[in-house]
Amino acid sequence: MNGELSFSARLQMIRTMIVELTQGDTGQRDDLHQQIDAKISVLADDLAQRDALTAEADRQGNELIQMMLAMAVGDYSVRVAVGDDDTLLNALGTGLNMLSEEVAAYRDTRERLQQEIIQMQAATLREVSTPIIPITDEVLVMPLIGTIDAQRAQQVIEALLEGIAARQADVAILDITGVAVVDTLVANGLIRAAKAAQLLGARVVLTGMRPEVAQTLVGLDVDLSSIATYGSLQAGIGAVLQQFTNDTRHTNGTRLSLAHYIEQLPRSA
Amino acid sequence: MDAQVIHTRTASHWIDASGVGRSVYKQGAEESFADAIENIDARITLSKAFGKAVPLLVDLRPIKSQTRDVRSYYGGPEAATASVACALLVESRISTLIGNFFLQVQQTRLTTRIFSSETEAIAWLKGFQK
């Protein structure tokens, strides 16, 4: 493109030549004709080049807009094609491509960290919601607090079995003093836990049976006959340890399985 | 003795007579992660042959693009083993953008600055020569 003169200046030059053409003599007219043709030809080439550049700029501009729209809805996979020239649009395209990469990487990192935090919180919550407290080598206590849904009931069973297996415990006391609502789901969970513990050679004792809970269970017609129950944790622990102490004394200190003694415990107290 | 020059797909590398490492990108280079590894390997090879890590002048002016993993790699420990400081030489809009992106977004272990003047870049790098 002719960088010396603007389009308007060159049009003005051609206009001046045309005016001279109408006023000059024959010899001058031929010469002016050629000059005008040459200038119009250059001007036409420049205009065609400008049209091509404008079209390319429009194409790049539309690509940039499409990419920005994609990024606005969280799609960072779109990239714009960048030409070889150091134009403003190429620089914008390069910058936007890099920005998109950075945002995508930041988003991925954030999502991964969020997942890790959620998993850590879930693990911590599991540990807190199913604590195992060994009060002797043979006896474990698992105090349950809050609401128990199907998932937590399963966690209780898993944690209880892990605790019994890890410590070779004979008795697991499940204390439900802090359980807000005891319904069929919770009751069935407790029965499942008791049966599973039995398979490992241990017995489950249920404590913290409040009057309203007892009434609910009676209303639900849940069979808890296979589980020894006590009104309070204190009563449950006392009964288990007393039974153990008595029978150890009777066997001259020989340690026998507490599960055996639990069989002798009354089914409710 | 002529300086050893290592040519990679995207750049040429050597250590000049004054002990400054040079990495000059090829015109229109589009650098991928594999290219970055190749370029760092070249710098490490040169610095080992030279006997110590050197201050480095990276001529970004001809570059066209560089992916995120490249910037991340250059900000890591590998890049810091071959050099004691890095001057990024920029000129065009694109090379300036890439240089600034690297410096502003990437955490880099290597002391790095951007220059538009080669003379000033070399003067700054000389301060890191031991």
ipTM for the predicted complex comes to 0.79
Return the pLDDT at A248.
57
Amino acid letter, A185: L
Average pLDDT, chain A: 83
Residues of chain A in contact with residue B63, where contact means CB-CB under 8 angstroms, are: none
Q: What contacts A81, CB < 8 A, 6 or more positions away?
A: A60, A63, A93
Position A193 pLDDT exceeds 50: yes
* Separation of alpha carbons A22 and A15, rounded Å: 11
Q: What is the pLDDT of residues A36-56, one digit of tens each?
A: 888 888 888 888 888 888 898
* Separation of alpha carbons A143 and A130, rounded Å: 8
Query: pLDDT tier at A141 (50, 70, 90 boundaries)?
Result: very high
Q: What is the pLDDT of residues B30-65, one digit of tens each?
A: 999 999 999 999 999 999 999 999 999 999 999 999
Minimal-distance CA residue of chain A relative to B69: A101
Contact B97 A105 (CB under 8 A): no
Return the pLDDT at B10.
97
User: What are the strands, taking DSSP E only, across chain A?
Assistant: 133-134, 139-146, 171-179, 203-207, 228-229
Burial bucket for residue A164 (CB in 10 Å: 0-12, 13-18, 19+): buried
Kindly tell me the number of DSSP H helices and DSSP E strands found in chain A: 8, 5
Return the pLDDT at A11.
81
Chain B positions contacting chain A at CB under 8 Å are 28, 64-68, 92-94, 97-98, 101, 105
Kindly tell me the number of DSSP H helices and DSSP E strands found in chain B: 5, 8
Contact A83, B49 (CB under 8 A): no
Q: How far is CA A77 from CA A63, A65, A109, in A?
A: 13, 14, 16
Q: Please tell me which of the candidates B64, B92, B105 has its beta carbon nearest to residue A102.
A: B105
Q: Backbone dihedral region of A220: left (phi > 0), alpha (psi from -120 to 50 degrees) or beta?
A: alpha
Q: What contacts B54, CB < 8 A, 6 or more positions away?
A: B15, B19, B20, B21, B46, B47, B82, B83, B84, B129
CA atoms within 13 A on the CB side of A185: 12
Query: pLDDT tier at A181 (50, 70, 90 boundaries)?
Result: confident
Q: 10 Å Cβ neighbour count for A48?
A: 10
In our burial notation (b when 16+ CB lie closer than 10 A, e otherwise), range A136-157 reads: eebbbbbbbeeebeeebbebbb
Q: Reduced to 3 states, what is the DSSP secondary structure of residue A136?
A: coil
**Joined tokens for residue A238:** 């006392």
Chain A positions contacting chain B at CB under 8 Å are 82, 84, 86-88, 90-91, 94-95, 97-98, 101-102, 105
Provide mean pLDDT across the span A28-38.
80
Q: What is the pLDDT of residues A229-254, one digit of tens each?
A: 898 999 999 988 887 776 655 555 44
Position A127 pLDDT exceeds 90: no
Q: Reduced to 3 states, what is the DSSP secondary structure of residue A29?
A: helix
* Separation of alpha carbons A182 and A184, rounded Å: 7
Return the pLDDT at A247.
60
Could you tell me which residue, A26 or A154, shows the higher pLDDT? A154
Return the pLDDT at A269.
46
Q: What is the pLDDT of residues B69-120, one digit of tens each?
A: 999 999 988 888 889 999 999 999 999 989 998 888 877 889 999 999 999 9
Strand B83-89 versus strand B112-115 pairing type: parallel
Q: Please tell me which of the candidates A84, A95, A101 has its beta carbon nearest to residue B97.
A: A95
- In degrees and rounded to multiples of 5, residue B112 shows phi and psi of -135, 140
Amino acid letter, A210: R
Query: What is the nearest CA distance from A83 to chain B, expressed in angstroms?
Result: 9
CA A208 to chain centre: 37
Position A264 pLDDT exceeds 60: no
Position A85 pLDDT exceeds 90: no
Return the pLDDT at B54.
95
Q: Please tell me which of the candidates A84, A90, A98 has its beta carbon nearest to residue B101.
A: A98
Q: Please tell me which of the candidates A91, A102, A105 has its beta carbon nearest to residue B97.
A: A91
Residues of chain A in contact with residue B61, where contact means CB-CB under 8 angstroms, are: none
